[in-house]
Amino acid sequence: MGFKKDFLWGAASASYQIEGAWDKDGKGMSTWDHLTEKPGAIYQGHTGKVACDHYHRYKEDIALMKEMGLKSYRFSISWPRILPDGIGKINQAGLDFYSDLVDELLANDIIPFPTLFHWDFPYELYLKGGWLNRESSNWFAEYTKAVVERLSDRVNHWFTLNEPQVFVGLGHITGEHAPGLKLQKRDIITIIHNVLLAHGKSVKMIREFSKLEAKVGMAPVCNVFIPADNNPRSIVAAREAMFSNNNGEHFSGWSNTWWLDPVYFGEYPKDGLLEAEKYLPPTWKEDLKTISQKVDFLGNNHYQGSYIKADEKGNPEHQRPEIGEALTGFNWRVTPEGLYWGPKFLYERYSSPLIITENGLSNKDWVSIDGKVHDPQRIDFTHRYLREYKKAAEDGVEIEGYFHWSIMDNFEWAFGYKERFGLIHVDFNTQKRTIKDSGYWYKKVIESNGENL
């Protein structure tokens, strides 16, 4: 037993990273449009104003997806392209673009899998306080309704939020990402609660207004802790690290349980409440009824994990990286076992079917003299990770899909166009696309349903 017959093999992208057309056809400004105007904020002053020009080239891109044999495509919808002011008047041209995108995907037998929020927050709502404003959950619900009413006659798979830990942490704690803020703990706890409330209200909107029977989830990035050896004590220690509130550190908002327990159990974890409860709004217990709307699957963006052993007292102890360990172009650790232990631990705790919503690596890719893009590191990386994911399925973890990050090279946030994650190479000067060796390798994996791994 490995991957089930209807397993969703796909690749992923995000609107701001590929679409371009940043102010075309009535689109409003996002906080990422705003941040790229700040000198020094983005590598070499890069912006997403053109990016991969997917807005104008989506048919060409979908043809390449078809050539690669993708069964599904996870893309995100730009909130300010639908509602230029974040709320109020709907921009029909924006909805038309995504409607046409969905039609083109379906015409090529590719299942559309939209994510409602992948970080391009409307600038006009940022001026109203952004996620700090409790009304943000109602703003997001209004936006959700507009999208679902237009697309749900053809779309029945949805993600609400992508990597909320990151857009909160890097966007509001360190200031590396949009909107570029460095807030205090009180504000961060308020934002997290509002974001979770937005997720819950979005799920309710999808259920209420979807024309097709909807399947809904969220796509967090989960901290994955891997047993450093097969000692049962190490396994227990890794599981404990995975589900403790920041592994004993002070509250920072990166805890798996602080984000997921409210969704699945309708409660915040006790070890987090010890520090955070005093900052939660008076309505927080009542809000949990909305936050804990039933979801159908748990997405997980996974790139790297940390190795854990038990110390003399049985407590989790982080293992220092080995000298000369394998690193990606982004200097992220290569830890394939994370795609076994992460899904295993998450499934044990939440009993929810899992989808890997992002997995891949930044690599130093270029077009070779023969006109091809040879990226053996990406093939080896993906092969190693998928073998572990397949092992998780064989051990009883219910998994429904895998989305490689990313479908094409794109705007990598604060790193601009420096990092290349794509299965398709993009020449950002000419917009020429070239499927990499890894894209053709992935096609064979899809054709065999992972049996060739």
Place of tokens 């979801």: 295
Residue 17 assigned ligand-binding role:
yes
Rounded to whole angstroms, the Cα distance separating 447 from 9 reads: 10
Residue 439 and residue 3 in contact, taking contact as beta carbons nearer than 8 Å: no
Residue 303 assigned ligand-binding role:
yes
Nearest CA to 352 among 292, 394, 388, 398?
A: 398
Rounded to whole angstroms, the Cα distance separating 124 from 33 reads: 12
Rounded to whole angstroms, the Cα distance separating 244 from 248 reads: 7
Residue 418 and residue 373 in contact, taking contact as beta carbons nearer than 8 Å: no
Residue 162 assigned ligand-binding role:
yes
Residue 159 and residue 219 in contact, taking contact as beta carbons nearer than 8 Å: yes
Q: What is the DSSP letter of 23?
A: T
Structure token pair of residue 134: 């409790």
Q: Is 163 a catalytic residue?
A: yes
Residue 341 assigned ligand-binding role:
no
Residue 118 assigned ligand-binding role:
yes
Rounded to whole angstroms, the Cα distance separating 161 from 183 reads: 21
Q: Where are the beta strands (DSSP E) in 250-329?
A: 297-301, 306-310, 316-318
Rounded to whole angstroms, the Cα distance separating 296 from 174 reads: 32
Q: Is 19 a catalytic residue?
A: no
The active-site residue out of 358, 388, 400, 419 is 358
Q: What is the DSSP letter of 358?
A: E
The active-site residue out of 19, 104, 163, 419 is 163
Rounded to whole angstroms, the Cα distance separating 296 from 354 reads: 9
Q: Which residues contact 63 (CB under 8 A, 6 or more apart)?
A: 108
Tell me the CA distances in angstroms from 301 to 87, 160, 247, 314, one per residue in order. Answer: 29, 14, 20, 29
Compute the C-alpha angle 91/46/144, nearest 5°: 25
Catalytic residues, which ones? 163, 358
Known binding-site residues for substrate equal 17, 118, 162, 303, 405, 412-413
Known binding-site residues equal 17, 118, 162, 303, 405, 412-413
